[in-house]
């Protein structure tokens, strides 16, 4: 390599380049990730070996410079995550949509955005997946657990009872596709100047009085995973109409805050930049969820029609009743809940319905551990923390007293959960299937219910 003998020899000053070209053929182009990785994805999708062999033959003929960019940063192609967010904004009619990597990350982003932190309380229902409450603690807030009512969603009466000067937010959770009473919750929140953060992990596409769940409160959180209505892997989303809440959720979800209008600019307002996490959605999830967003409405229509046909075919039973709905037209409809008069009765009905060939079950008398009901959240009830000082339960900013956590604290909810019989509805059932399901329920409840 020639040594510079004078400034004029430097390439920057017009001298000869020290490296005119690289010998290696693929110095500047891929594939770092290519056909093999793509076929590994095809395999994950379950395509047969024969189909994959055909794809390999076909795609081998493609220019080798195919070089996927599976992150949003500096992507030469339109970012699939950005496309997913745009589609979500259109579908839900929200000003802002933020793709994240799980429902829990969506909750964390929303809680932090809303100001949940040391010294604050957040009211969550006794019946929800544990993540709704765990994310409060992880955000350094204190979860206050409220009863559910017969609708199996948060009880507005108990919510109002549990408000303190420290309450920051209420978290209605739309369990199993069923809307919480959003009129009552919004009314309470506005009167007490509280944030409403909807946990809509389980009801993507459900509505309440014609409005999509997740768009009624200040922030809506979604899980988009294989176990949920929409999604196929591990992803989530936050919706909001409020620019500031979106900005703060963005900062929490990506501590590098890369997608602010100007990435490295100083903060536009105190509270915009802080040390958050990395919950970014990958381009693979973005692509899948972009397509999935387009399936929400058709899915809701199929589920809801089947659920309502079954419900319309049910008799009235002596001791078992249908869970009352806050809005049956908006219920997503993938689950019908019957409530027995006792957990012993539920323990008879659940297996009897399953024996008739229905996808039904109940916890019954010997209910196993289940993190959908607060009484098994010992991380919270026993204030377990990752480090010994016990933050946030011992936080000096918390002007307590702490809620009296115990397995009996929401006894009505625990009992209701034990008495519930869950019947999963299939969106692809035909009308005859639905009628057969209703007849099977009538048969069993005619004897036991």
Ligand X SMILES: Cc1ncc(COP(=O)(O)O)c(C=O)c1O
**Closest CB 43 distance from ligand X, rounded Å:** 24
**Closest CB 416 distance from ligand X, rounded Å:** 17
Q: 448 near 354, Cβ under 8 Å? A: no
**Closest CB 158 distance from ligand X, rounded Å:** 18
Q: Which stretch binds ligand X (CB under 6 A): 35-43, 128-136, 158-166, 348-356?
A: 128-136
Under the criterion CB under 6 A, does residue 132 sit at the interface with ligand X? yes
**Closest CB 346 distance from ligand X, rounded Å:** 21
Q: Could you check whether the bond before residue 422 is cis, i.e. omega within 30 degrees of 0?
A: no
Under the criterion CB under 6 A, does residue 153 sit at the interface with ligand X? no
- Of the residues 129, 208, 334, 374, which one makes contact with ligand X according to CB under 6 A: 129
Q: Which stretch binds ligand X (CB under 6 A): 2-10, 195-203, 401-409, 424-432?
A: 195-203
Judged on CB neighbours under 10 Å (0-12, 13-18, 19+), 408 is: exposed
| Interface size with ligand X, residues (CB under 6 A) | 14
Q: Which stretch binds ligand X (CB under 6 A): 196-204, 250-258, 310-318, 322-330?
A: 196-204
If the CB atoms of residues 222 and 290 are measured against ligand X, the closer one turns out to be 222
**Closest CB 129 distance from ligand X, rounded Å:** 3
If the CB atoms of residues 176 and 314 are measured against ligand X, the closer one turns out to be 176
If the CB atoms of residues 220 and 347 are measured against ligand X, the closer one turns out to be 220
Q: 196 near 209, Cβ under 8 Å? A: no
- What is the x/- site pattern for ligand X, positions 67-106, by CB under 6 A? -----------------------------------xxx--
Nearest of 148, 207, 123 to residue 337 by alpha carbon: 148
What SS3 state is found at 95?
coil
Residue 67: Cβ within 10 Å count? 15
Q: 184 near 160, Cβ under 8 Å? A: no
**Closest CB 126 distance from ligand X, rounded Å:** 13
The torsion angle over the Cα atoms of residues 33, 39, 41 and 42, rounded to 10 degrees, is: 160
What distance in Å separates the CA atoms of residue 70 and residue 288, rounded to the nearest whole number? Answer: 12
What SS3 state is found at 410?
coil
Judged on CB neighbours under 10 Å (0-12, 13-18, 19+), 321 is: middle
- Of the residues 109, 128, 215, 299, which one makes contact with ligand X according to CB under 6 A: 128
**Closest CB 39 distance from ligand X, rounded Å:** 27
What distance in Å separates the CA atoms of residue 243 and residue 195, rounded to the nearest whole number? Answer: 15
- Window 259-288: residues binding ligand X (CB under 6 A): none
What distance in Å separates the CA atoms of residue 355 and residue 360, rounded to the nearest whole number? Answer: 9
The residues, any chain, with a CB within 8 Å of residue 442's CB and separated by 6 or more, are 313, 314, 315
Give how far Cα 410 sits from Cα of 35, 65, 125, 364, 417, Å.
Answer: 54, 60, 9, 18, 11
- Of the residues 94, 120, 202, 325, which one makes contact with ligand X according to CB under 6 A: 202
Q: Which residue is nearest to ligand X (CB)?
A: 103
Q: Kindly report each contact of residues 145-148 with a partner whose C-beta sits within 8 Å and lies 24 or more positions away, as own/partner.
A: 145/374, 145/380, 145/403, 145/405, 145/409, 145/410, 146/410, 147/410, 147/412, 147/413, 148/410, 148/412, 148/413, 148/416
- Of the residues 173, 197, 288, 434, which one makes contact with ligand X according to CB under 6 A: 173
If the CB atoms of residues 333 and 347 are measured against ligand X, the closer one turns out to be 333
Q: Give residue 160's Cα distance to chain centre.
A: 25
**Closest CB 201 distance from ligand X, rounded Å:** 3
**Closest CB 134 distance from ligand X, rounded Å:** 9
- What is the x/- site pattern for ligand X, positions 224-263, by CB under 6 A? -x----------x---------------------------
Residues at the interface with ligand X (CB under 6 A): 102-104, 128-129, 131-132, 173, 199, 201-202, 223, 225, 236
């Amino acid at each position: 390599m020639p040594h510079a003998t004078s400034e004029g020899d430097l390439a920057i000053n017009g001298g000869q380049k020290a490296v005119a070209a690289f010998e290696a053929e693929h110095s500047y182009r891929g594939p770092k990730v290519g056909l093999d990785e793509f076929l590994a994805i095809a395999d994950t999708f379950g395509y047969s070996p024969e189909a994959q062999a055909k794809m390999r033959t076909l795609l081998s003929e493609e220019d080798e410079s195919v070089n996927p960019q599976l992150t949003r940063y500096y992507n030469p192609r339109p970012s699939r995550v950005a496309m997913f967010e745009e589609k979500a904004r259109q579908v839900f009619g929200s000003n802002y949509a933020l793709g994240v990597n799980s429902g829990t990350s969506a909750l964390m982003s929303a809680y932090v955005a809303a100001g949940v932190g040391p010294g604050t309380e957040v009211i969550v229902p006794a019946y929800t997946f544990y993540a709704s409450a765990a994310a409060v603690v992880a955000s350094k807030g204190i979860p206050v657990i409220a009863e559910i009512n017969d609708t199996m969603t948060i009880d507005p009466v108990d919510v109002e009872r549990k408000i303190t000067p420290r309450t920051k937010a209420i978290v209605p959770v739309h369990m199993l596709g069923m809307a919480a009473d959003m009129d009552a919750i919004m009314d309470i929140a506005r009167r007490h100047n509280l944030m409403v953060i909807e946990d809509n992990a389980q009801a993507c596409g459900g509505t309440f009085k014609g409005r999509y769940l997740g768009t009624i409160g200040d922030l809506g959180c979604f899980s988009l995973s294989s176990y949920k209505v929409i999604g196929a892997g591990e992803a989530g989303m936050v919706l909001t109409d409020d620019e500031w809440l979106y900005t703060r959720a963005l900062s929490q979800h990506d501590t590098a805050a890369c997608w602010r209008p100007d990435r490295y600019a100083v903060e536009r307002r105190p509270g915009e930049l802080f040390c958050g996490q990395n919950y970014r959605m990958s381009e693979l999830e973005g692509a899948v969820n972009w397509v999935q967003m387009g399936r929400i409405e058709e899915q809701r229509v199929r589920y809801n029609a089947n659920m309502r046909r079954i419900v319309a075919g049910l008799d009235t039973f002596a001791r078992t009743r249908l869970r009352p709905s806050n809005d049956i037209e908006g219920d997503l409809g993938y689950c019908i809940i019957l409530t027995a008069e006792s957990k012993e009765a539920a323990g008879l009905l659940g297996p009897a319905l399953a024996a008739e060939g229905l996808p039904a079950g109940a916890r019954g008398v010997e209910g196993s551990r289940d993190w959908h009901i607060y009484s098994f959240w010992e991380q919270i009830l026993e204030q377990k923390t990752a480090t010994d000082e016990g933050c946030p339960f011992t936080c000096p900013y918390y002007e307590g007293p702490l809620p009296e956590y115990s397995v009996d604290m929401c006894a009505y909810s625990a009992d209701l959960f034990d008495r519930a019989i869950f019947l999963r509805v299939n969106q692809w059932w035909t009308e005859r299937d639905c009628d057969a399901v209703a007849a099977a329920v009538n048969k069993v409840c005619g004897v036991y219910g």
